[in-house]
Amino acid sequence: MKNKFTPLYTAICALGLFSAPTMAKNILDKLTVAEGFEVSLFADDVENARQLAVSDSGIVFAGSIKAGNVYALIDSNKDGVADKKIVIASNLQLPSGVAFKDGDLYVSEVSRIIRFKDIEKHLNDAKFEVVYDKFPSDTHHGWKVLAFSPTGELIIPVGVPCNVCAENDNYGRIFSLNLETKKLTTIAKGVRNSVGFDYQPGTNTLWFSDNGRDMMGDDIPPCEINKVSYTGEHFGFPFVHAGTIVDPEFGQGKNPANYTAPALALGAHVAPLGIHFYRGNLFPEAYQQQLFVAEHGSWNRTKKAGYKVAVATIEEGKIVKYTPFLTGFMQNEETLGRPVAFAELRDGSLLVSDDYAGSIYRVTAKQAK
């Protein structure tokens, strides 16, 4: 039966965002993690698991897109496996983003941000209030991720409602929202569709992923990892892609030198989503405070690309190495899983969500057992 979201569901199917529940139990032995690490299943049957957030007591919250749910995952005996799943909200519009602060859970929908106050005490009777409702209602690239800045403002990227289209002040930006005044500030613009960002420890510099435009062929333009140097910085979209490629429709007369080039140009269509600076001390020193990247994987390339977690090694503000870390999500052109986002548990283990297999994986260092 058709409903108002039917066209959106069709698009999501094309992007491979539907969960495949049978994959959750079958993919684990196909995954390969870097030497010295182990990967296990933290939770399965978490339909379309997207962004993750961890509460003060260790409850893991997960958003979704197609499912319309927000989940609470509880590891009661602290053995690294969630033994209880609670759907704290359902029938929301693309509630991909979740963020936890001062006991409250913030969730993104397409046009608004909602808040579940004192959520840990209300897992079974959660009620929300609307904290901001002035974002565009377009569902194309309408799902959002959330996190708080070091100064306490809520950071919210807003993608463009198209593959490529002209600039508009309401789209293609990363905003900060002051929750007291409701004032929006543009942190970065010229951003096609960022589905992941994080602040670098020690410097408080904002880094973000950006998905490159489609329909320019298999190999251009690259997807990007970017670093924000000043408020309002322009990263090129829709005029210039990856710092050097002038758009055939919108780039006429534009000088690439007028826009910020990426800190790292990735492969075309690899779809980097969540990025995360590892802050724990469980992992070896070479991984500490380095940037983990979830390449969700291509949907429109002749030969698939992405479908992995990698680590960007940063020295003096520059990416000097980009190394595969967790692979096996795609084998022989068959999609088994699609990594999305990260979260750290108190013990320093790293969670990785997979919206295709409906799973959340837990990565630990072997020597820490």
Residue 244: inside a domain = yes
How many domains, the chain?
1
98/105 Cα distance (integer angstroms): 7
Residue 10: inside a domain = no
Mean pLDDT of 260-277: 98
Residue 17: inside a domain = no
* Residue 186: Cβ within 10 Å count: 16
Question: Over 70: is that where the pLDDT of 171 sits?
Answer: yes
Q: What is the pLDDT at residue 78? A: 94
Q: What is the pLDDT at residue 16? A: 43
List C-alpha distances in Å: 242 to 195, 201, 245: 17, 25, 6
Residue 3: inside a domain = no
DSSP 297-345: --SS-SS----EEEEEEEETTEEEEEEEEEE-SEETTEE---EEEEEE-
Residue 118: inside a domain = yes
pLDDT in tens, 203-224: 999 999 999 999 999 999 999 9
Nearest partner of 275 among 322, 327, 311, judged by Cα:
311
25-34, 88-97, 120-129, 305-314: range with lowest mean pLDDT:
25-34
- Contact predicate 235/189, CB 8 Å: yes
How far is the first Cα of the chain from the last one, in angstroms, to the nearest whole number?
A: 50
Residue 267: inside a domain = yes
What residues does 188 pair with on adjacent strands? 174, 233
Residue 281: inside a domain = yes
Q: Could you tell me the pTM of the whole model? A: 0.93
The torsion angle over the Cα atoms of residues 133, 214, 266 and 255, rounded to 10 degrees, is: -90
Domain containing 285 equals 23-368
Choice between 138 and 10, residue whose per-residue pLDDT is larger: 138
pLDDT in tens, 317-332: 999 999 999 999 999 9
Say which CATH number the domain at 193 has: 2.120.10.30
State residue 26 phi and psi, 5-degree precision. Answer: -95, -20
Residue 13: inside a domain = no
Structure tokens at 77: 């005996």
Residue 301 backbone class (left: φ over 0; alpha: ψ -120 to 50; beta: rest): beta
Q: What is the pLDDT at residue 26? A: 74
Q: What is the pLDDT at residue 23? A: 54
pLDDT in tens, 136-166: 999 999 999 999 999 999 999 999 999 999 9
pLDDT in tens, 63-96: 999 999 999 999 999 999 999 999 999 999 999 9
Mean pLDDT of 120-126: 97
**DSSP letter (8 states) at residue 247:** -
Percent of the chain with pLDDT over 90: 91
Mean pLDDT of 339-344: 98
Our separate counts of H helices and E strands in the chain read: 2, 30
